[in-house]
Amino acid sequence: MYAWKWWRESRGRIITYLILLVSTAVLFAWTAATLPFRSGNGAPKVAEAEVWRATLMSLGSIIVAFAGLGLGASGIGGEFEQGTVEFLLTRPRRRRYFVWAGWVTGAAALFITVALAVLCSFATLVYVMKSPSNWRMPVMIVPLFVFGAVVYSLTYFMTALVKNGRAGLTLSLGIIVLDLLLPVVVHLGWRIDLPSPLDVLVGSRWATVRGAHFPVAATLGWCLVALAFPLATQFLFERAEV
Amino acid sequence: MNDMAITTDGLVKHYPQVRAVDGLTLRVPRGSVYGFLGRNGAGKTTTIKLLLGLTRPTAGSARVLELDPRRDRVAILERTGYVSENKRLYEWMTAAELLCFTRSFYRTWSHQAAEKYIRRLEIPMRQPFKKLSLGNRTKVYLLLALAQRAELLILDEPTSGLDPVIMDELLHVLAEDHLGEGGTVFLSSHQLSEVEQIADWVGIIEQGKLLLEARLEDIKNDFRLITAAGEGLQPFGPPQVVSAVQAGAFWKYVVSRDAEGFAARLRQQGATVTDVSPLNLRQIFLELTRKEDPCTPGNGGEKAVAVLSHI
Amino acid sequence: MLLHVNPSSGVPIYLQIEAQIKHAVAAGALKPADALPSVRKLASDLGINPNTVARAYQNLDRDGVISAVPGGGTYVADGVPGLLKAEKLRRLRPHARQIAVEGRQMRLAPEEIVRLVQEELGKLGESS
């Protein structure tokens, strides 16, 4: 029933993210498939296609990140804000049940959103190209989802920490931005490579739609990070005083 | 003890600025209605939170249904119905949805009972919670606790916003269904007349400690207001005399026991005892918890701070 | 069974119930072998704690006013309550003292006070 409650509270948000992401993904596939083969003044518009692909790819990632932020902010921490935490914690369930039930539902919603978008993109590719050379494209669901899951889990934890959705979201956003910028700065200044959540996406050679390999090690690593946050939330929640 | 629904032993909860519960030892017998009374800020809600495992004690211990709230919280909650002081639930849900949501947690839930209470307490089921008045919110919260058919009900201000008719219905419902089947009620309320109707035990908490714990009948049999006139009468003091107020030649004493003996002593001193009358719960509560007599400022009132317990 | 209790009076509820039942028996409104409502029923009708009703019934049983039949049911006792006369007088004395004290304070003559009591007895009708 907790999953039902979470769904009813978040369905508006999820549908929005779904629509945005699917549109972006479909557009991405369409431009990737059609632009390089269209001739402007005689020459194929490869450069233009590249720009479009990069833009839509970034846009897609940003939407996934926003979805992670938005869904994480409606996590268990929100119960404190609503004043319902007292009611919830006087139901006969372990506190960790509520932490994980909430997290799993949000993660599942995120996964479905990402999966649907990628599959629609793939379907568009198949539709346009009739026989695409890249059947492993749907595998991109995994790194994209892991990226989103990291943002989601971080926000979930932050919201529980400060017991407020909006503050949790802002803090999480701040940390993400920091975590994206910092490796760049460190790389440029000291030539050290820090891990960054973008690794799962950038390292996968998204520039072309062929070769759907993604860095498995980095993805697994960030997967563990994504799981560490709800664990930390459980630790926090079990000790919380109401 | 096996026949206690709730016991605490030197329970302490200190916050940085305030000692909310400061060595509380209370006993709630099974099958009783225990009226847990106290002024605002006396420590009632904190005590309840400690009993339900919402907060951890600083020191001391508690046992609810013979279980430790720190270790067996879930087992206690399966058998305990709770109405919180703040009547907040999910704003977007209707009472019907809240019912559905809550019932999924309990094996002992009775849908028949729920329907009965919806009717008797006149609960609007189809409006979202945010549109409900305080009284209706309280009713919904009560419904969720009552339909659970719990052994123990812990009710914190369960009459907030209720009109007299519904308050009366609630008492009838408690008497019929819950108490009739041997359930226990731990009731914290400012509505002293309602408490007086249904409680058989009373515990008064002040500044985190128990001031008094006794059967309501015994308190009412023992406490008396004695009016006497005479020369040279003194205030006397605790533990027998709870308060002594002088007005002209008359003294009014509130005694907590052996009123006859006290009256006899007064007569021996040559005073005339003009009246010995009983007090109701509200009057007794005021006598024990009011700091100063408003009628004679500066009097200070001899307040019985010692714990009076009748077992 | 028409009982009415006032929870907010200084008198404990169980005493009020006892007094009303005793009064009804004394006045003949309740006759020997009349059935009384069960503890649970009376409690739920009045909206009070069953333990309170139980205590009242226990006291009335001890005083011989009512008796509980094994197997269920509580009835008004028939015959003379099994108390010694001395005990009955001892129990009644505080009430008598109160009438005496108040009557004296109101400057009533002893004969007037006695006549008052006789009138009240008369109103109760036949009593065994």
Alpha carbons B121 and A136: distance in angstroms, whole number = 62
Q: Chains C, A in contact: 3+ Cβ pairs under 8 A?
A: no
Distance CA B11, CA A238 (A): 21
Q: Give the pLDDT of residue A37.
A: 66
Per cent of chain C over pLDDT 90 is: 33
Cβ-based neighbours of B29, under 8 Å, separated by 6 or more: B3, B4, B5, B184, B201
Packing angle of the helix pair A141-162, A165-190 (nearest 10 deg): 120
- A neighbours by CB contacts (3+ pairs under 8 Å): B
Residue B294 has, within 13 A of its CA and on its CB side, a CA count of 4
Residue B29: pLDDT band (50, 70, 90) is very high
CATH no. of C13-76: 1.10.10.10
Which pLDDT band, with edges at 50, 70 and 90, does B306 fall under? Answer: very low
Q: Please give the ipTM for the structure prediction.
A: 0.87
Instruction: Please state, rounded to an integer, the average pLDDT across all residues of chain B.
Output: 89
Q: Burial-class residue C95 by CB neighbours within 10 Å (0-12, 13-18, 19+).
A: exposed
Q: What is the largest CA-CA distance in chain A?
A: 72
pLDDT at B270 over 90: no
Where do you find CATH 1.10.10.10 in chain C?
Answer: 13-76
B124 Rama sector, left if φ>0, alpha if ψ -120 to 50, beta otherwise: beta
Whose tokens are 């998204």? That residue is: A206
Can you give the pTM of this predicted structure?
0.86
Taking CB atoms and an 8 Å cutoff, what residues of chain B touch A4? 101
pLDDT of residue A88: 94
Q: Is A133 helix (H, G, I), strand (E, B) or coil?
A: coil
Supply the pLDDT for residue B305.
37
Q: Is B70 on the interface with A (CB under 8 A)?
A: no
- pLDDT at position B299: 42
State the smallest CA–CA distance between residue B92 and chain A in angstroms.
8
Pairwise pLDDT comparison (B13 vs C63), residue with the higher score: B13
Report CB contact under 8 Å: B74, A87.
no
Using the 8-state DSSP alphabet, how is residue A19 labeled?
H
Given this model, what pLDDT does residue A211 score? Answer: 41
Residues of chain B with CATH 3.40.50.300: 4-215
Mean pLDDT of B228-235: 81
User: Tokens at residue B218, please?
Assistant: 């015994």
Higher pLDDT, B213 or C64: B213
Mean pLDDT for the stretch of residues C105-128:
82
Q: Would you say residue B309 has pLDDT above 50? A: no
C44 chain-B contacts, CB cut-off 8 A:
172, 175-176, 180
Identity at B58, one-letter amino acid code: T
At residue B257, what is the residue type? Answer: R
Name chain B contacts of A88, Cβ cutoff 8 Å.
Answer: none
- Give yes or no for a contact between A38 and A45, defined as CB atoms under 8 angstroms apart: yes
CB contact under 8 A, A241 and B54: yes
So what's the pLDDT on residue A43?
A: 57
Contact between chain B and chain C (3 or more Cβ pairs less than 8 Å apart): yes
Q: Does C10 touch chain B (CB under 8 A)?
A: yes
pLDDT average, residue stretch B254-260: 90
Kindly tell me if the per-residue pLDDT of C14 is higher than 50.
Answer: yes
Q: Is the peptide bond before B297 cis (omega within 30 degrees of 0)?
A: no
Question: Averaged over B26-47, what is the pLDDT?
Answer: 95
Contact call for A93 and B92, based on CB within 8 A: no
Report the alpha-carbon distance of residue B14 to residue C14 in Å, rounded.
Answer: 40
- Residue C12: list chain B partners with CB under 8 A: 216-217, 220-221
Residues (pLDDT < 70) of chain A are 36-46, 131-134, 202-214
Residue B311 has pLDDT above 70, yes or no: no
Q: Which of B33, B200, B278 sits opposite C10 (nearest CB)?
A: B278
Whether C113 contacts chain B with CB within 8 A? no
Q: Can you give the pLDDT at residue B297?
A: 44
Quick one: pLDDT band at residue B300, thresholds 50, 70, 90? Answer: very low
- Show the DSSP H helices in B13-72 as ranges: 44-51
Write down the pLDDT at residue A59.
Answer: 86
Tell me which chain B residues have a C-beta less than 8 angstroms from the C-beta of C93: none
Per-residue model confidence (pLDDT) at position A133: 63
- Condensed to tens digits (0 to 9), the pLDDT of residues C24-65 reads 887 778 888 888 999 999 998 999 999 999 999 999 988 888
Q: Which pLDDT score, from 0 to 100, does residue B278 have?
A: 93
| Domain at B4-215: CATH code | 3.40.50.300
Best residue in B3, B165, B169, B171 to probe C by mutation, most C CBs within 10 Å? B171
Mean per-residue pLDDT of chain C: 84
Distance CA A38, CA A127 (A): 17
Q: Which residues of B touch A83 (CB under 8 A)?
A: 86, 88
Residue B175 — pLDDT band, cuts 50, 70, 90? Answer: very high
Residue B228, pLDDT > 60, answer yes
Comparing B282 with A210, the larger pLDDT belongs to B282
pLDDT of residue A185: 83
Handedness of CA B29, B33, B35, B36 (dihedral sign): positive
**What 3-state DSSP class applies to A194?**
coil
